[in-house]
């Protein structure tokens, strides 16, 4: 915000794949936040294959003001005001 010369956090847009970072942005007053959860990719963890994005969200962290997207194309629906029509 300082580098951009913005003093009103409600005017900031934020997207991150780490829910903790998104929660932190909300805590700082950022109101246009998106949690990016890529789904369908497989990773090996501890010798076990799992699908990214298949785990449920921690309900204690759920926040109605946080949108979740699995493709960046979905940002056109979440933030239509920043895309050309």
For 1-59, how does the pLDDT look when each residue is reduced to its tens digit (9 = 90+)?
A: 899 999 999 889 999 988 899 999 999 999 899 999 877 667 777 888 777 655 554 43
The DSSP output letter for 74 is: G
Q: Which pLDDT score, from 0 to 100, does residue 84 have?
A: 85
Query: Dihedral (C-alpha) 57, 38, 69, 15: value to the nearest 10 degrees?
Result: 90
Q: Looking at the whole model, is its pTM more than 0.75?
A: no
Q: Whole-angstrom Cα distance, residue 85 to residue 81?
A: 9
Q: Which pLDDT score, from 0 to 100, does residue 60 have?
A: 35
User: Which tops the pLDDT comparison, 26 or 63?
Assistant: 26
Helix (H) or strand (E) holding 75: helix 75-78
User: Which tops the pLDDT comparison, 74 or 44?
Assistant: 74
């Amino acid at each position: 915000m300082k580098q951009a010369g913005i003093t009103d956090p409600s005017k900031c847009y934020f997207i991150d794949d780490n829910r903790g970072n998104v929660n932190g942005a909300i805590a700082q007053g950022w109101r246009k936040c998106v949690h990016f959860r890529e789904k369908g990719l497989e990773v090996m963890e501890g010798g076990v294959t799992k699908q990214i994005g298949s785990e449920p969200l921690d309900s204690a962290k759920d926040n109605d003001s946080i949108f979740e997207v699995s493709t960046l194309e979905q940002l056109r629906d979440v933030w239509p005001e920043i895309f050309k029509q």
